[in-house]
Amino acid sequence: MTIKEAQYTVDQWIKTHGVRYFSELTNMVILTEEVGELARVMARTYGEQSFKETDKAKSLSDEMADVLWVLLCLANQTGVDLETALKENLQKKTERDASRHKENEKLK
C-alpha cells in the first residue's frame, strides 16, 4: 500500500465507519497520546522498565499503526499529501545533510 493509498483508505474508513473526523486539535492530542503509548511499549521492550500485567497485551506494531493512523487522519484533514511531503522532505535532508552525519564524530 502506498502512502497515498493509505490516506485514501483511512478517509474511506472514516466516511464509512466513523461519523466524521475528530477536529484537527483533537486529533493532534490523540496523536500525542498514541506516541506516548508507543513510548511506553518501547521503554518496556528496549529500556529498563518491566511490563505491568496491563501492558503485556500491547504490541509494538499495533502502537506504531495507531500513530500512523492518526497522522494519516491529520494529513487528510489539512490537505497534506504525505507521499509528496515525504519525498520533498527526503530531498531536503539529502541536500542539507549530504556529509553532516558522516563527519559527526559522535557517530563514529
Domain edges within the chain: 3-81
Averaged pLDDT score across all residues of the chain: 95
pLDDT at 55: 81
Q: 20: phi > 0 → left, psi -120 to 50 → alpha, else beta; which?
A: beta
pLDDT at 53: 86
CA gap 18, 69 in Å, rounded: 13
CATH class label, 3-81: mainly alpha
Name residues of the chain where pLDDT drops below 50.
none
Q: How far apart are the first and last CA of the chain?
A: 36
pTM for the structure as a whole: 0.90
Q: pLDDT per residue over 33-58, tens digit each?
A: 999 999 999 999 999 989 888 888 88
| The length of the chain, given as a count of residues | 108
Contact (CB, 8 A) for 72 and 82: yes
pLDDT at 98: 87
Residue with cell string 490523540: 30
